Structure 1
């Protein structure tokens, strides 16, 4: 008996190890979760070569990630860096340092910066007083570098290096663990022809961040300073209205309703592009009571300006996927519920985001119930949605004699469990392994006949993969629990 048992244990362990080692069979996402696939289905097809290098979409209320792809890839955000400058300006207003009607006088330095052709800018006239509200519009829409510097210098009392240090300190405070700022605007200090002085800061330094960190920044910005959206939600804005210095700008955010790739619900936030960053995009969109935040980084190449438009097709596709795949609803009702084999009482109804048509599972910890999500929170400092609960103390009374009889009755079956779980585990593992091998073979054949195409799967290969995976998971469960 011992030899037989040892044989099946060894065989099962070998098969499970073989399955685990077949990393080539593990797909990073199913077809419906692949960006290129769901972009095509959503009506916003992404051309080959314009797939974002990194992207993420989160619930703006809870910070729950709804979809992500390489969210921690270090990337140059380009003019999206201006979002941090706006954040610090709003914070300074909250602290009472100035308000939207405060003005900044255009100096000769600012006029010269506004005339640098290589920088995105707005016209600045010597001696004119520019209200903060107009500077915000210039920063958000035409991505004016001179307006950004005027705003940053107002916050820091003209301490340009000090402001950059503030940017990095605030990033650390918000939990943006992979972000470093070298300038306030996204354009390197050296691009300002000596007019931007920041002692101790590398003038050639290129800002770095990630999709996750920029989503964290935007989450906090909208939570604390929702008024920022009034400067980002229009396809056309006019600054310095009713003055001789009025200018009208069309947004680069082509996903705003009324713009080239308008998407219903989009109301901000900022675009950015550069030779090192390609084309980047942060968007916010609201439908009903749901607001989402998305970040798209590295679409296309600076040498091909088509990326300026393609980033919005990618952004629209990601938003559409999130809105159509998830729903915000009541997950559990107030009162008595049975969760994880425990009888609990919820103090209130529990609402949250969940994938449509999927079975829900929950976690009970520290007196709070939360939903188990496919993805984590965007930051560990942002807690998941939860609701307090109390565990029922009532226990059913069991007749000791009946318990004894039940134990006797189950003894023979426990003997069978010792004899047969390894045989069953081995069979399940072998079948699962065969199905994974067939899936791989068919995918290779498809790839051979569709050269140049990214699509190397069919409903058949996906079915084989799913069935194989389920059989192997069943084998693991049998091996562990029986």
Structure 2
């Protein structure tokens, strides 16, 4: 038998590793975090709704056309007006010439509205939320703010108040239509070719606030079909443009919202939401597939993100109330019986993490409360147990996508771990004498 030279030995060892240990190697791969799917869209974004944890981010900060996903902001302001008593569901709105002419355009998503006729807020809201009726959205915007331009200003202010950057927001109407479809009723300073543009991140932010502040929005958003003005000559059958709802062509269990959008510029867009095992996710796809012509691609790409999110992530407790961390250094105390006080987390911290992975190390960023310490960087006794001294952001060390609001982790209050009483006169005097002689020598 021939002896192997050194190259033959190397080859034999490599062959042995490849044939004897393939299951070991595959096991190591299975244990690693699953990669996010490739999404066929200009932008894609997914978050967990409660915490805002980012799960998928593809071009999430690129400003693109949002089309009728705009109506999520319109829905929010309508629901807010109802909550504040400025509108009522049974309140009647008279249709003006602008809304009437828009409603007669059969190339747009609409329900037919009669000039001078009155419709309830509920009728118009359902038409907007289910059938993406544009003229209905215009009438609601006018009812909330007096005019559509004033409503657009309110839309912009609201989204900025949630943390969106002003430079990432371009809003010119309440519908998401291109201005050329509005019969000359365009926002001052905008052009006939303008339409609304935002980022996928900001659309997810809008959906998060809509769902968390007004969860009842889903009661309408999840309706697959409804007849507008049933039993009248204006009756029209409305089928929800969200084809992932039960009974529709791309139906998926537990999908109950939220809003589609389609224009030549924006392409086919969709903000979706679903809840499984107590975890709700929000997904956004913009200009999915090959553009406006394939209206099903947005649902196929959304399904990929939903599969990925529910298959690979879960809520897990990272911190218990009373836990501390090396990032939470004890604070020196002036005039106290003790010369320092330890810091702890004030509540449990639950976060979205990869399934079947043990969270061993945490990344904790501590931010001290302003105006808390004296000029010597000390707390001054007396100090109560549980006194708030700052906040901490907590996340696993391997978290790379962060949170929708730009935070690096889940925020938690940081408090003092114990009470520190003020030292008596004799103790304080003794300390001053000791400090004097220490500094002297």
TM-score > 0.5 by shorter chain: yes
Counterpart position of 2:372: none
1:346: Cα distance to partner? 5.1
More strand by share: 2
2:93 matched to 1:104? yes
1:264: Cα distance to partner? 1.6
2:151 matched to 1:152? no
* 2:298 maps to which of 298, 311, 314: 311
Counterpart position of 2:157: 169
User: Aligned residue pairs: how many?
Assistant: 347
Distance 1:129 1:33, change over 3 A: same
1: distance between equivalents of 2:393 and 2:405? Answer: 19
* 1:70 maps to which of 59, 65, 83: 59
Distance 1:339 1:286, change over 3 A: farther
Counterpart position of 1:139: 128
1:315-334 → structure 2 map (5 Å cutoff): 315-334=302-321
Distance 1:127 1:332, change over 3 A: same
1:170: Cα distance to partner? 2.0
2:175 matched to 1:185? yes
Q: Structure 1 stretch 176-185 or stretch 241-250: which is displaced more?
A: 241-250
More helix by share: 1
Counterpart position of 2:105: 116
Q: Cα RMSD (Å) of the superposition?
A: 2.8
* 2:216 maps to which of 216, 224, 227: 227
Distance 1:384 1:348, change over 3 A: closer
Q: Structure 1 stretch 176-185 or stretch 243-252: which is displaced more?
A: 243-252
Distance 1:186 1:241, change over 3 A: same
Q: Any idea what SS the aligned residue of 2:208 has?
A: helix
Counterpart position of 2:226: 237
Distance 1:32 1:129, change over 3 A: same
Counterpart position of 2:401: 375
Q: Any idea what SS the aligned residue of 1:33 has?
A: coil
Counterpart position of 1:289: 278
Where in structure 2 are there 5+ consecutive unaligned residues? Answer: 1-31, 330-341, 367-389, 420-441
Counterpart position of 2:287: 298
2: distance between equivalents of 1:345 and 1:381? Answer: 20
Deviations 1:55-84 (A, max 9, x none): 111111111112211111111011111111
Q: Any idea what SS the aligned residue of 1:226 has?
A: coil
1:163: Cα distance to partner? 1.9
Counterpart position of 1:354: 353
CA contact (8 A) 2:36 2:308 kept: no
CA contact (8 A) 2:402 2:408 kept: no
CA contact (8 A) 1:371 1:385 kept: no
Distance 1:173 1:368, change over 3 A: closer
Ranked by relative contact order (alpha carbons within 8 Å, sequence separation 6 or more), the top structure is 1
Where in structure 1 are there 5+ consecutive unaligned residues? Answer: 1-29, 37-45, 394-482
Distance 1:162 1:347, change over 3 A: closer
2:115 matched to 1:126? yes
